[in-house]
Amino acid sequence: MSQTPENFSANLAWRHRMGWLFAATCRLATWASVVFLVVILLVIVSRAWPRLTPEFLTHFDSYKPESAGMLAGILGSFWLILFTGAICVPIGVGAAIYLEEYARSNWLTRFIQLNISNLAGVPSIVFGILGFTAFVRMFGVPRTAIVLALGFADVRIPLPFGRSVIAGSLTLALLCLPVVIIASQEALRSVPASLRHAALALGATKWQTISRQVLPAAMPGILTGVILALSRALGETAPLAVLGAAYFITFAPGRINSASDLAQHPDRLLQVPFDQFTAMPLQIYNWVNEQSRDFQQQVSAAGIVVLLVVLVLMNGSAILIRQHFQRKIRW
Amino acid sequence: MLQRSKAGRIEIYEKFPKTGNIMMMKQVRTAATLCALGAVFFAVVPVGCRFESQNGSAPQLNETGGAPAAGGQVQAITVDGSSTVYPISQAVAEAYKANKPGIEISVGLAGTGGGFKKFALGDLDICDASRPIRDSEKEACEKAGVKFLELEVAIDALTVVVNPANDWVPCLSVSQLKKIWEPDSKVTKWNEIDPNWPDHKIELFGADTDSGTFDYFTEAVVGKAKQSRTDYTGNSNDNVLVQGVADEKYALGYFGYGYYAENPDRLKAVAIKAADDGECVLPSAETVDNNTYVPLSRPLYIYVNKQSLTRPEVAEYVQFYLSEAGQKLVTERKFLLMKANVQKVMQDRLAEALN
């Protein structure tokens, strides 16, 4: 089809209109998501407003909506995510380094890679069932407990782990691992090969190249992935519900309910991983299911606000950390 | 050469070994500190290790060193089971703990079946149940050597509800309910039950198949537990059912009395006729007490591990549950009280078990 100058200009106007239409659609899509977010936030905050008091953060749960608080969930989630990170980061980053820097591409590594990608898409409740079998029940080993007498404190480690913080953390760590591995791999892959070549050419060993050049350069990407994965773990309800984490609980892990508890009994820190817990999303779920409408509407909304604030803080820290590390890298 | 060239690659070469060295130094220092700390720890502190076998009691935190505030062991009670009984157990736990701050209580809502599974493993001190224990569950307990005490603690009245705008159904008989809810029911419109009622589809809302409520309702209405039509909106979250009936003029649903009592302005209870020529009875404390609200009122139970009952904190918790103060919470949580003589029987049963 040859085009004459006349219908060329006609087509031009039509194509411009199409371009304008596309841009407008994209702009609308962007603003739609912002509008949804604002509406949700307004509704939640207005519902939660009467319950957003300092006591909400410092009280344990109650059957009375006016005295219900989130302390058990906040502290439970804190320990849960702390241990999840401690388990998941070394394993995840280690696996990513191995796959990117050391492993040869053969059928085995390709198979592992495929599995990691698949695991990232597995629904979280499946990890919950796995965690229940592997950590809470430990495939049904008889119940015992190891008591470590350290002189200044006894640490009681139940076997199987039961419904303890460590069982929850191990399960959530499994959930986070694929995300952390994939994000770390992406970050490592984005480090220019010339950097490695330069280091190797100057006589650095492979370990020196990775630890001094590649890892620092990949750090922003790795940390972003880690924090996003942990943020997701923080909001997970299903796996913890399957593990049988408690709903109503009148103490925090390790019975460290306040800063003064910690100051008086620092040794209780050792007991934290092996104690029962609840978590923020579980508490919210529980409040939504309450028969009283004060719970359903106000208390659960207040819980959601607290969870959202914590998530925003975590994601904000991800941005700060990324900027901090990026400032160090100049090329 | 280096100074003259500002080319990227050489800059990288200059920068990175530097940061690398600092990082390396830091790592070495941290590692050395950790090693030193570890060495001191193991040298100074005698580390012992022993195994402890648990015989059926709930996980309990042993004294964690130093000078515990309450002195001696931390006392803990573990409760799990029915989500219907949960609101009562939670309120009782909270009120009990208010007077005894040293005691730690956790209450879960795994469901009656899930609760009994854990109970038979010896995980729980108390299992909440919205139905009596099944034979298979009893066997599991026996096998594991878990002996238990069954106590009735409250009554729940399953309430059949319609939308407040529904002005045609004041009353339904059990046989009408059966016609609606039985498996393969052909009823889809209101006027198929009674020709005077509207020619409009019935929107059905009911308990989901995992709940004790479902078991009880189907047994009482259809005659066989777990036999029900399946084309209805089922949800384990009763609030979803409340919302559904409150929003839909032609809806019919059933759930526990508490959810109706919390929403009297959004729902209308339907009176129940046990026999076709019987009287229409609305659920209330009175009609449950004088045995006229049948067959939809059901007792709620707690099952106490007898070995746990030897621990004073568990015994006192159960005593408190059955005491006047504890029973006040039953009504506060919108459940119905068991009859006075049943309460006495339960208290006696507990006293006997404690001796």
Q: Of B295, B319, B335, which residue constitutes the final position of a domain?
A: B295
Task: Give residue B60's pLDDT.
Answer: 41
Note whether residue B53 is domain-resident. no
CA angle centred on B138, ends B133 and B144, rounded to 5°: 135
The minimal CB distance from B334 to the residues A244, A254, A291 is found for: A291
The answer to whether B21 contacts chain A (CB < 8 Å) is: yes
Q: Do B23 and A276 touch (CB under 8 A)?
A: no
Number of domains chain B contains = 2
Residue B62: both structure tokens together? 């042993």
| Residues 6 or more apart whose Cβ sits within 8 Å of residue B104 | A249, A250, A251, A255, B61, B74, B75, B76, B77
When CB atoms are compared, the residue of B47, B69, B93 closest to A248 is B93
Is residue B180 located within the same domain as residue B151?
Answer: no
Asked if B16's CB is within 8 angstroms of A291's CB, the reply is no
The CATH number of the domain holding residue B349 is 3.40.190.10
Nearest to B262 among A142, A212, A292 (CB): A292
* Full residue range of the structural domain in which residue B237 is found: 159-295
Cα B353 to Cα A219: distance, rounded to the nearest angstrom: 63
Q: How confident is the model at residue B62 (pLDDT cuts 50, 70, 90)?
A: very low
Q: Token pair of B53, please?
A: 């076998």
pLDDT at B25: 53
Residue B317 lies in a domain: yes
When scoring A207, A243, A291 by the number of chain B Cβ atoms within 10 A, the one with the most, hence best to mutate, is A291
Which token pair is B57?
A: 């009691």
What is this structure's pTM?
Answer: 0.77
pLDDT digits (tens, 9 = 90+) for B134-164: 899 999 999 989 999 999 999 999 999 999 9
Pick the last residue of a domain from B252, B269, B295: B295
Q: Do B166 and B146 belong together in one domain?
A: no
Interface confidence, given as ipTM, is: 0.71
B297-305 vs B126-129, strand pairing mode = antiparallel
Main-chain dihedrals φ then ψ at residue B278, nearest 5 degrees: -80, -170
> In this structure, is residue B55 part of a structural domain?
no
Please give the share of chain B, as a percent, with pLDDT higher than 70: 79
- How sure is the predictor about B275, in pLDDT bands with cuts at 50, 70 and 90? confident
Question: Of B274, B295, B316, which marks where a domain is finished?
Answer: B295
The pLDDT tens digits for B15-45 are 444 444 455 555 556 655 665 555 554 444 4
Classify residue B5: in a domain, yes or no: no
Angle at CA of residue B79, ends B74 and B83, nearest 5°: 150
Q: Which of residues 180-199 of A touch B (CB under 8 A)?
A: 194-195, 198-199
- Binned at pLDDT 50, 70 and 90, residue B328 comes out as very high
- Please indicate, yes or no, whether residues B277 and B311 belong to a single structural domain of this protein: no
Same domain as B165, residue B287:
yes
Q: Which of residues 204-263 of A touch B (CB under 8 A)?
A: 208, 211-213, 216, 244, 246-251, 254-255
> Within this chain, do residues B137 and B199 fall inside the same structural domain, yes or no?
no
Mean pLDDT of B47-52: 59
CA-wise closest residue to A218 among A128, A108, A57, A329: A329
Of A158, A267, A288, the CB nearest to B64: A267
Q: What is the mean pLDDT of residues B330-335?
A: 90
Q: Are residues B288 and B314 in the same domain?
A: no
Alpha helices in chain A (DSSP H): 5-48, 54-58, 71-97, 107-120, 124-131, 165-189, 193-201, 206-208, 215-234, 238-243, 259-264, 280-288, 293, 300-328
B107, containing H or E segment:
strand B103-107
Q: Do B312 and B246 fall within a single domain?
A: no
The answer as to whether B226 is a domain residue is yes
Say if B15 falls within a structural domain.
Answer: no
**pLDDT tens sequence for chain A (331 residues):** 555 666 667 788 888 999 999 999 999 999 999 999 999 999 999 999 988 898 899 888 888 888 889 999 999 999 999 999 999 999 999 999 999 999 988 999 999 999 999 998 899 999 999 999 999 888 888 878 888 887 777 788 888 888 899 999 999 999 999 999 999 999 999 999 999 999 999 999 999 999 999 999 999 899 989 998 999 999 998 899 888 777 788 888 888 888 888 888 888 888 888 888 899 999 998 888 887 888 888 999 999 999 999 999 988 988 888 888 877 766 6
The predicted model gives B263-267 an average pLDDT of 90
Q: What is the mean pLDDT of residues B102-122?
A: 86
**B170 and B268 share one domain:** yes
Together in a domain, B190 and B215: yes
Say if residue B140 is in the same domain as residue B228.
no
Residue contacts between A and B (CB atoms, under 8 Å): 166
CATH 3.40.228.10 fits A55-328, yes or no: no
B68 touches chain A (CB under 8 A): yes
Are B138 and B174 in a shared domain? no
| A286-321: pLDDT as tens digits | 888 887 888 888 999 999 999 999 999 988 988 888
Chain B residue closest to A216 (CA)? B20
Same domain, B211 and B284: yes
pLDDT at B256 over 50: yes
